[in-house]
Amino acid sequence: MKVLVLGGAGYIGSHVVKAMLAAGHDVTVFDNLGSGQLGNLFPEAKFIAGDIRHADDVNAAFARGFDGCVHLAAYKAVGESMAEPEKYSVNNISGTLNMLNAACAHGCKNVVFSSSAAVFGSPQYVPIDERHPTDPESYYGFTKLEIERFLAWYDRLKGVRYAALRYFNAAGYDVDGRIDGLERNPQNLLPIVMEVASGWRKELQIFGQDYDTRDGTCVRDYVHVADLAQAHVNALAYIAKNDRSLTVNLGSEKGVTVTEMVEVARKITGKEIPAAYVGRRSGDASALYATSALARETIGWAPKYSDVETLVASTWKVYQKYKAPGEKK
Ligand code: UDP
């Protein structure tokens, strides 16, 4: 298939491109390199520099003719979305509408969308399945949920088939070591742990130690980015073959506490990784993890790399190539 990957130079996007190429697709990346990086591009994929906020850019890209697209071009920082919702409205929501309209105008009927567990908000029960009520706590999560609703309408009205993939906590790096671009200004637990291990930060702050969990720290469902990437390949095949849309959770189904993650990181890096327990971060749920039964049944998805050791080791391998953020050794 001819596949356009919007946001294909980003952290998850580059892994998706790798998986799409491995599956034999003819891949084109569309990216404004705002957070994506040239170094994440694959020579086997074509590249279009463009911005989803500009309808002309998106139209020109889709005019090349694609059977399917994967849409990952979005802002994703929860805290920032609460402080600067305008950015998220324009990029995530308007940008997606540009993408959907261009896809329809040029006959691209299959859309794989990178959604998020943030659509659920505070869990009413775990593991979280697809029927769990959606009530996002952040504006970021709201944008993802709204886009899922637009997709459902475009399915009804325009015959677009979509797969909304609700990622839990994406982590890890390409196990072959081909993708090694570090995210700029990372906000998530594992990159921050790696920055401490690398000596770029003095210590890790652990947000809360009085949660009702096995060691008092929050439980999350970390899923390897290569496993997520494979889900995009499977989902695209599914919606194209069955002419049916799909919304699925993608998690490893294994809850890991913050302390457990740090312990494994200490073992694998051999570094002390100083950590201080500080107060809870507002909006954090104590335990969030998925059931991915539906993804297993529909798209035959089973995570292969989402054990904590592989998550940490594949990330550490990349961090070891750098002497400072953005500066390779
Ligand atoms: N966390 C932490 N210190 C940090 C960053 C994250 O203790 O510097 C915790 C956070 O409270 C949460 C888990 O690590 O329980 C994962 O956080 P992250 O921001 O990576 O993802 P989230 O689950 O919020 O989407």
CATH of the domain at 93: 3.40.50.720
Q: What are 50's two structure tokens? A: 């463009």
Ordered per-residue pLDDT tens for the chain, 329 residues: 999 999 999 999 999 999 999 999 999 999 999 999 999 999 999 999 999 999 999 999 999 999 999 999 999 999 899 999 999 999 999 999 999 999 999 999 999 999 999 999 999 999 999 999 999 999 999 999 999 999 999 999 999 999 999 999 999 999 999 999 998 889 899 999 999 999 999 999 999 999 999 999 999 999 999 999 999 999 999 999 999 999 999 999 999 999 999 999 999 999 999 999 999 988 888 999 999 999 999 999 999 999 999 999 999 999 999 999 989 99
Out of 78, 128, 188, mutate this one to test ligand 1's pocket (max ligand atoms within 8 Å of CB): namely 188
Q: Both 158 and 270 in a single domain?
A: no
Residue 284 in contact with ligand 1 by CB distance below 6 A: yes
> What H or E segment, with its residue span, contains residue 235?
helix 225-242
Residue 229 in contact with ligand 1 by CB distance below 6 A: no
Burial code of 247-259, b = ≥16 C-beta within 10 A, e = fewer? bbbbbbbbbbbbb
Determine the distance separating the centroid of ligand 1 and the alpha carbon of 284, expressed in angstroms.
8
Is residue 116 domain-resident?
Answer: yes
Q: What is the pLDDT of residue 127?
A: 98
- 225-242 and 11-22 helices cross at what angle (nearest 10)? 60
Q: Both 202 and 110 in a single domain?
A: no
Q: Both 142 and 196 in a single domain?
A: no
Is residue 26 domain-resident?
Answer: yes
Residue 258 in contact with ligand 1 by CB distance below 6 A: yes
Q: Both 125 and 143 in a single domain?
A: yes
Q: Both 280 and 266 in a single domain?
A: yes
Looking at ligand 1, which residue's alpha carbon is closest to its atom 7? 206
Is residue 66 domain-resident?
Answer: yes
Residue 281 in contact with ligand 1 by CB distance below 6 A: yes
Q: What is the pLDDT of residue 83?
A: 95
Looking at ligand 1, which residue's alpha carbon is closest to its atom 15? 218
Q: What is the pLDDT of residue 283?
A: 81
Residue 196 in contact with ligand 1 by CB distance below 6 A: no
Determine the distance separating the centroid of ligand 1 and the alpha carbon of 302, expressed in angstroms.
24
Determine the distance separating the centroid of ligand 1 and the alpha carbon of 189, expressed in angstroms.
5
Number of compact structural domains in the chain: 2
Burial code of 155-180, b = ≥16 C-beta within 10 A, e = fewer? beeeebbbbbbbbbbbbbbbbeeebb
Q: What is the pLDDT of residue 184?
A: 85
Residue 206 in contact with ligand 1 by CB distance below 6 A: yes
Q: Both 91 and 206 in a single domain?
A: no
Q: Both 23 and 124 in a single domain?
A: yes
Q: What is the pLDDT of residue 295?
A: 98
Domain hosting 272: range is: 189-220+253-324
In the residue annotation, 238 being an active-site residue is answered as: no
Determine the distance separating the centroid of ligand 1 and the alpha carbon of 58, expressed in angstroms.
34
Q: Both 109 and 195 in a single domain?
A: no
Asked if 92 contacts 113 with a C-beta cutoff of 8 angstroms, the reply is no
Q: Both 272 and 236 in a single domain?
A: no
Is residue 178 domain-resident?
Answer: no
Q: With CA atoms as reference, report the closest residue to 126 among 286, 258, 280.
A: 286
Q: What is the pLDDT of residue 185?
A: 86
Residue 287 in contact with ligand 1 by CB distance below 6 A: no
Question: Closest ligand 1 atom, CA of 118?
Answer: 25
* Pairing between β-strand 255-257 and β-strand 327-328 as defined by DSSP bridges: unpaired
* Pairing between β-strand 219-224 and β-strand 2-6 as defined by DSSP bridges: unpaired
Question: Closest ligand 1 atom, CA of 207?
Answer: 7
Determine the distance separating the centroid of ligand 1 and the alpha carbon of 269, expressed in angstroms.
20
